[in-house]
Amino acid sequence: MKKVLSILVATAMMFSFGVCTYADDTDTNYNDQISPQYSYTERISSTISKSGTTLTCTSTVSGFSGITKITITQELQKKNGTSWPSINGRGTTVFSSRAYFVQPYSNVAKGTYRVKTIAKVYKGSNYETVTAYSNSVTV
């Protein structure tokens, strides 16, 4: 009996050792692949593209069924050291469960830019505020 118990304890000890893991320190951009769970918002995206000295900022927001209104505020941000102050902002309101807003900016100065999209997604008088940032582009 002691021999069987010893074998069981030894086997249990063999399988109880931890597994070695490590964290990768590379900077990986997953874009929209990982997203938090929202009550009213199905998807939000914020993109920026450039053509010469013209930037085109695009914000897309879609809500789940029953959404009555979406307000989008789109802020163009220019990198200043390690901060991203907003230099221009525009927006729209759509009485639908999907909203799409495109804003071009012509003749922008040299620098690194991104767009911040802030959306309020309404279901009746209740709403949630969601935010998305684009990748950055350099002019």
Per-position pLDDT tens, the chain of length 139: 667 667 766 666 666 555 555 544 444 455 555 556 788 999 999 999 999 999 999 999 999 999 999 999 999 999 999 999 999 889 999 999 999 999 999 999 999 999 999 999 999 999 999 999 999 999 8
N-term to C-term CA, the chain: 78
pLDDT at 36: 63
